[in-house]
Amino acid sequence: MRELEHLHLQLRLHRHLCFYPFLSRALEYVKEAGFTLDDLISSVSARIRAKERVIEAIRTGVIQRPVIGDDTQAQTELLSYPFARILVSCIRDSYLIRRYALAEAKGAYKRLIEDLRSDDSIIHELSEDLGIHAEFSPNLVLLPFTDYLRLTANLRDKRWKLVNRSMVRGKVRLGMTEFVRIVQEAMYERIVKDLPLDVPDDICNSLSEHIEHIRKELGVKRKNLEGLHTPPGGDPGSYPPCITNILNNLKAGINVPHSARFAVTAFLLNIGLSVDEVIELYRNSPDFDEARTRYQVEHIAGVKSGTRYTAPSCATMRTYGNCVGSDEFCEKVTHPLSYYRLKLKLGK
């Protein structure tokens, strides 16, 4: 009884653990409390919340942290995390795994921004737990360039390039908001690295109702994404291999290089997609920022300057490593737009 009271006290003192369930201390709490796999499966509230987490990840791409009113709610929220990982692992879909991990990291990021307004201790705990060797001072963080390079590898905006950063003694200078964005990348790494879990078939079978619901949501999401790839009067089947490859990566939530983003954006705008339709294609990107994306797409579309950019030539695509192989039509053209028009004309 005394041990149980101690655990409840720990949860009350560190209720924020349920908002960052991937932390080592959160996992330790679950172990110390003696929760087993059977306990998770038999907990109706944790099961329901776990399914909500996964569906929210599919629908919105961000798992919001709820308002926690008492210890019971905190415990349910905390236990729903390992259960959600079980559900995702049973489905074994690489797109779902990446989207779920990213949605968890984005939800934790939003909560972290809120927490920092009243208490900055959580950022120190997160950094240490995630293996980030940062030095903190008021409104400034110094991060070893090796950590910086690792954690910004998937951030494609030019402002993250090391050559555009100020350094002190081999460490990169960052504002706190910038550092929190980098912490989001570390949280994503932590969450995604162990997925999918090796879940026994009998466990997955016992969760078939939840899994089927999630599969349906996943199917709807995929159908909507595929619809976005079809411009008015256009034909995705006529896209050149390079453009199809970039779109597939965007659809899968994989970060693509700036040169590829420019190429696919210019291509789609030139064949009839609107600015808003192109922006939607980037929502799965780990570093998606709607305002920044809109600015970049509108710039390429010539909304303000009046100059619409065309897609890069095949030679330029090869130079930047965006050419993924050729087919019989590639051999007849020197530009992705020429490929598209030729294939449409021939009806193939």
pLDDT tens-digit profile of 113-135? 998 888 888 899 899 999 999 99
Q: What is the strand order of the sheet 140-144 is part of?
A: 135-137, 140-144, 171-174, 167-168
- Mean of pLDDT values over 105-112: 93
Q: Quick one: what percent of the chain has pLDDT higher than 70?
A: 92
The C-alpha atoms of residue 268 and residue 256 are separated, in whole angstroms, by 16
- Mean of pLDDT values over 225-246: 72
- Are the CB atoms for 74 and 11 separated by under 8 Å? yes
pTM: 0.72
- Mean of pLDDT values over 145-164: 85
The C-alpha atoms of residue 338 and residue 213 are separated, in whole angstroms, by 43
Alpha helices in the chain (DSSP H): 2-13, 24-32, 37-42, 44-60, 71-91, 94-115, 121-129, 145-151, 176-192, 201-206, 208-228, 241-251, 258-270, 275-281, 290-301, 314-319, 336-346
Per-residue model confidence (pLDDT) at position 2:
47
Q: Quick one: what percent of the chain has pLDDT higher than 90?
A: 49
Q: What Å distances lie between residue 310 and 138, 237, 256, 262, 332, CA to CA?
A: 45, 20, 19, 9, 19
Number of Cα atoms under 13 Å in the Cβ half of residue 316: 10
- Mean of pLDDT values over 134-163: 87
- pLDDT exceeds 90 at position 178: yes
Per-residue model confidence (pLDDT) at position 117:
86
* Placement of tokens 């980037």 in the chain: 282
CA 336 to chain centre: 29
Phi/psi at 144 (5° precision): -50, 140
- pLDDT exceeds 60 at position 13: no
- Are the CB atoms for 132 and 257 separated by under 8 Å? no
- Provide the mean pLDDT of the chain: 86
Collapsed DSSP state (helix, strand, coil) of residue 63: coil
Tokens, residue 41 = 């499966």
> Within a 10 A sphere around the Cβ of 71, how many other Cβ atoms?
15
**At 48, is the pLDDT very low, low, confident or very high (cuts 50, 70, 90)?**
very high
Per-residue model confidence (pLDDT) at position 207:
93
Q: Which of 309, 55, 195, 297 is nearest to 288 (CA)?
A: 297
Per-residue model confidence (pLDDT) at position 227:
58
**At 34, is the pLDDT very low, low, confident or very high (cuts 50, 70, 90)?**
confident
